[in-house]
A and B are shown apart, each in its own frame.
Chain A
Amino acid sequence: LALSLLFLSVARTTRRCPSSFPQLLSQLQSQANITGDTGSLLEPYIRLQNLNTPTLRAACAEFPVTFPSEDTLRALSKPRFLSTVQATLGRVLQQLSALAQRFPKTRAFPELEKTRGNVQGIRNNVFCIAQLLNHSLETPKPTQASSGASLSTATTPSIFQTKLDSCRFLWGYHGFMGSVGKVFQEWRDGSNRSRR
């Protein structure tokens, strides 16, 4: 509970940034790890949409919506990495809002609201850490890999296709957050080594 309050408090203050780089980095890393856990959003979604069969789980996992891969993220410079995370999470928020439209009873899917708060919190912290590093968060040109988090299809998809597409999106999102967490971990390890 304390952690989610932390997200919320940071999210609320949006632009009052902690001044400690290690603290921010540690926060970002734990935020990423939490949001990388499929139990925080994908699993409740799978249960709610009755996708909890081997066939449908496989169908969900097989074609995840493409997000920037871990290697792609790791290869980016710090500024580009922060910008990519910021932009991708911006699109994630849009998709989560679209997803929320399809859930009339919010109390049936509270994890969605919590996730939106967490993602907003992460974006705030990314803004803060970029400020600390004097990096400007420019909007990166969408690399082929980073185009992720967009779900639009030409015709109006059926409800089943929408369920599956959303599932694939969430699968990709959790993967992406896991990768982000690892890169932040490497940042921490790097900064710990340089302090010794």
Chain B
Amino acid sequence: SLKRGSAQDLKCTTKNMQVWDCTWTAPVGVSPGTVKEVCIKDRLNSCHRLESTNIKIAALSPGDHEVAINYLNGFQSKFTLNENDVSLIPDTPESLDLSADFSTSTLHLRWNDRGSAFPYPCNATWEIKVLQNPSMELVKLVSFNTTLSGRDIVHHWNWTSDLPLQCATHSVGIRWYIDYNRFSGYKVWSDWSPLKNVSWTPNSETNVFPQDKVILAGSDITFCCVSQTKVLSGQIGKTFCPLIHLYGENVAIHIRNISVSENSGTNVVFTTEDNVYGTVVFAGYPPDIPQKLNCETHDFKEIICSWNPGRPTGLVGPRNTDYTLSESISGKSVPFKRFETLTNESYRLAFQMLPGQEIHNFTLTGRNPLGHAESAVFINITERVAPHVPVSLRVKDISSTVVTLSWHLPGNFAKINLLCQVEICKASSEREVRNATIKGAEESSYLVAVDKLNPYTLYTFRVRCSTETFWKWSKWSNEKRHLTTEAIPS
């Protein structure tokens, strides 16, 4: 008869919910290597002859399944196997590549989720740890979910370290577990992947990091110093800061709420017995939204856009704000040329007009190392005409009570009507303004008659122009003094 004994420590795990890997301990009195036959009551009622106490079987359908182990020496063990007892432990993830951008102290991790090993879409939860050597201090632990889609997908993860990566070797590990709602067994974390390290190869030139960083004013930042000899002090500007010991003689200082730098930046300095190491940080702001963006033309040849830059960024020179004006209809764009030597900078750009284009959709973008901002304006340029000042004003007698005024107005106004004003002043400071609508022309002089004047009277004339669709007056022309002729005695 079959001697019965219960299987001890039965453990079934699966990596991919398709194959179960079961192991058990042989009953007392039975050597583990004894040949046995394992029979499973499932759809196939399959039996497997084996010597070890481990068997890989295709995943069984949900529910209890009776499994009998018949040892050739007459022993038999029986146990009930249910998916509920199975642990889903995925393979250790294989991180493909760990790289570092030392200039931004950013780690880039790439790994393959081996999704093709899983027949059904399921949720994967990943956990990534970053350790700082040599103390292997955990500096970052992050977890997030992805979906396995039946295909191998390479995932990316970026992390920017507070501490410049140059100042300590960092190690990264990753693990995961899979949550498949139709799998009723235990979901267990995989093992951690082998740690991948990233370290900086010190060169003698640079010891303090980050170098020449541009950061948002008000943010916190850590500066570190790689040194062979004892660092005695660390300071930002004139403020000494407590040294944070990293390892060896490497130290760091942590700055909170950094204030805006002066033009030449803020010096961060570490001193040792015989040397000084340092870096410069530029704390400022991203460009403000350009304010009062105004685009108009004086002459229908070029459009002048002007704006107010808004809040100063605190950044100059190569870190100053670059502006670009782009016009979407024509697709043209114009960079702003900065003349920093001027005492007060004027923010203006000239955009060459395209023949026949009246509607313009302008976007002005300001960009600096901390960000960008833009303003837009949509105009019909015929409604944004601010003519130049009229020049070469001349007066010509027609009669003792009528004169003609002529002037030149630079620009191409052929497509519009000009609205001009003539100011007539008499010595007695009587002042009269008359309007005149004139057909525009190209690079032309214009002429109007002024009647109802008094004979033999000293007048002062001046003129200014705008357009029928009024936007702005030009400046007044120079004044022209004129004595009307004497009336012919009747």
A49 at the interface (CB under 8 A from B): yes
Task: Among B212, B264, B276, B317, point to the contact of A48 (Cβ < 8 A).
Answer: B264
Residues of the A chain whose Cβ atoms lie less than 8 Å from the Cβ of B262: 50
Chain A residue nearest in CB terms to B278? A160
Chain B residue nearest in CB terms to A48? B264
B215 at the interface (CB under 8 A from A): no
A143 at the interface (CB under 8 A from B): no
A196 at the interface (CB under 8 A from B): no
Residues of the B chain whose Cβ atoms lie less than 8 Å from the Cβ of A107: 341, 343
A106 at the interface (CB under 8 A from B): yes
Chain A residue nearest in CB terms to B320? A104
A contacts with B, residue count (CB < 8 A): 24
Given contacts A50-B264, A160-B278, contact A105 B316 (CB under 8 A): yes
Given contacts A50-B262, A56-B267, A164-B278, contact A158 B211 (CB under 8 A): yes
Residues of the A chain whose Cβ atoms lie less than 8 Å from the Cβ of B267: 49-51, 56, 160, 163
**B212–A158 touching, CB < 8 Å:** yes
Interface membership of chain A positions 47-59, coded 1 if the CB is closer than 8 angstroms to chain B and 0 otherwise? 0111101011011
Interface membership of chain B positions 252-290, coded 1 if the CB is closer than 8 angstroms to chain A and 0 otherwise? 000000000011111111010000101110000000000
Residues of the B chain whose Cβ atoms lie less than 8 Å from the Cβ of A48: 263-264
Interface membership of chain B positions 185-209, coded 1 if the CB is closer than 8 angstroms to chain A and 0 otherwise? 0000000000000000000011010
Q: In the bound complex, how far is the Cα of B266 from the Cα of A54, in angstroms?
A: 16
B149 at the interface (CB under 8 A from A): no
**A158–B343 touching, CB < 8 Å:** no
Chain B residue nearest in CB terms to A158? B211
B434 at the interface (CB under 8 A from A): no
Of residues 115 to 160 in A, which have CB atoms within 8 Å of B's CB atoms?
A: 155, 157-160
Residues of the A chain whose Cβ atoms lie less than 8 Å from the Cβ of B206: 158
A16 at the interface (CB under 8 A from B): no
Residues of the B chain whose Cβ atoms lie less than 8 Å from the Cβ of A56: 267, 269, 276, 278
- Shortest CB distance B329–A (Å): 34
A12 at the interface (CB under 8 A from B): no
Of residues 311 to 359 in B, which have CB atoms within 8 Å of A's CB atoms?
A: 316-317, 320, 340-341, 343
Of residues 73 to 124 in A, which have CB atoms within 8 Å of B's CB atoms?
A: 102-108
Q: In the bound complex, how far is the Cα of B317 from the Cα of A58, in angstroms?
A: 28
**B320–A163 touching, CB < 8 Å:** no
- Shortest CB distance B353–A (Å): 31
B235 at the interface (CB under 8 A from A): yes
Of residues 31 to 67 in A, which have CB atoms within 8 Å of B's CB atoms?
A: 48-51, 53, 55-56, 58-59
Supply 24 A–B pairs (Cβ within 8 Å), ascending by A.
Answer: A48-B263, A50-B264, A50-B267, A51-B267, A53-B238, A53-B269, A55-B235, A55-B269, A55-B271, A56-B269, A59-B276, A102-B317, A103-B317, A104-B316, A104-B317, A105-B316, A105-B341, A106-B341, A160-B268, A160-B269, A161-B205, A163-B280, A164-B276, A164-B278
Residues of B participating in the A interface, judged by any CB pair closer than 8 Å: 205-206, 208, 211-212, 233, 235, 237-238, 262-269, 271, 276, 278-280, 316-317, 320, 340-341, 343
Residues of A participating in the B interface, judged by any CB pair closer than 8 Å: 48-51, 53, 55-56, 58-59, 102-108, 155, 157-161, 163-164
6 tightest CB-CB pairs across the interface, nearest first?
A59-B276, A104-B340, A104-B317, A160-B278, A159-B280, A106-B341
